[in-house]
Amino acid sequence: MRPSPRWEPTMTPETPALTARLEALLIVADEPMSVTALAAGAGSPVREVRAALAELRADYDGETGGPVRGFQLREVAGGWRIYVREQLDRVVTEFVGSQAPVRLSQAALETLAVIAYKQPVTRSQVAQIRAVNVDGVVRTLLGRGLITEMHADPETGAMHYGTTSLLLEKLGINGIDELPHISPLLDDGSGGFPGLEGV
């Protein structure tokens, strides 16, 4: 996630602390953010951002006198991102699996269609097509087993997503090549999957 070069944050006396601004950016990021991108988004010098990131990581890891958090700040692929701690993966997986199934929303159907027709595709690419943040929807689709993580971009660390055999089963097809042809006017797949609303 890279802020537009034309955009500059509005700084006022009430502006939250740098660590708080960085947390806000990291929480909504769908891929690792470089220090320069974080500095631009937070409106602070790179040197101060590096120090604040180290402070946040130490805080999350319980090195500042507080408890170890359930998430951690990691530097991967030249950028920074917040992740669930590995030892809590099972807790998250069991929680997601225990949730009563509900029908997919229109937003989820549209996001699923974009991933199916454009795979492998990153969250930022899907968000660009749909012109909305898709983080929550992608987590829902992962939890329902309809999409899966395929591979991370070696340069940016952005995860690429694709569909699963479960989706093919739900659609009653044997492969992605059997997906119905869509109009050139809807070649981004954003129209969703007719007939899949009950999944």
CATH number at residue 145: 1.10.10.10
Residues 105 and 83 in one domain: no
Q: Which pLDDT does position 147 carry in this prediction?
A: 93
Three-class HEC string of 136-158: HHHHHHHHCCCEEEEEECCCCCC
pTM above 0.85, yes or no: no
Residue 62 within a domain: yes
Residues 112 and 180 in one domain: yes
Q: Which pLDDT does position 10 carry in this prediction?
A: 59
Residue 6 within a domain: no
Question: Is 49 a residue whose pLDDT tops 60?
Answer: yes
176 — pLDDT class (breaks 50, 70, 90): confident
What's the rounded mean pLDDT across residues 172-195? 63
Distance CA 184, CA 176 (A): 18
* Contacts for 66 with CB less than 8 Å, ≥ 6 apart: 59
Residues 71 and 137 in one domain: no
Residues 79 and 104 in one domain: no
Number of domains observed in the structure of the chain: 2
* Closest-CA residue to 162 (of 122, 107, 132, 109): 122
Q: Which pLDDT does position 184 carry in this prediction?
A: 47
Phi, then psi, of 147 in degrees rounded to 5: -130, 165
101 — pLDDT class (breaks 50, 70, 90): low
Question: Is 122 a residue whose pLDDT tops 90?
Answer: yes
Residues 73 and 52 in one domain: yes
Residues 109 and 180 in one domain: yes
Question: Is 22 a residue whose pLDDT tops 70?
Answer: yes
Residue 92 within a domain: no
Residues 83 and 104 in one domain: no
Residues 77 and 116 in one domain: no
Residues 115 and 65 in one domain: no
Residues 68 and 122 in one domain: no
Residues 154 and 175 in one domain: yes
Residues 104 and 180 in one domain: yes
Indicate the burial class of 140 (C-beta count within 10 angstroms; 0-12, 13-18, 19 or more).
buried
Q: Are 29 and 81 in contact (CB under 8 A)?
A: yes
Q: Which pLDDT does position 183 carry in this prediction?
A: 46
146 — pLDDT class (breaks 50, 70, 90): very high
Task: Give the mean pLDDT of the chain.
Answer: 83
Residue 66 structural domain: 18-87
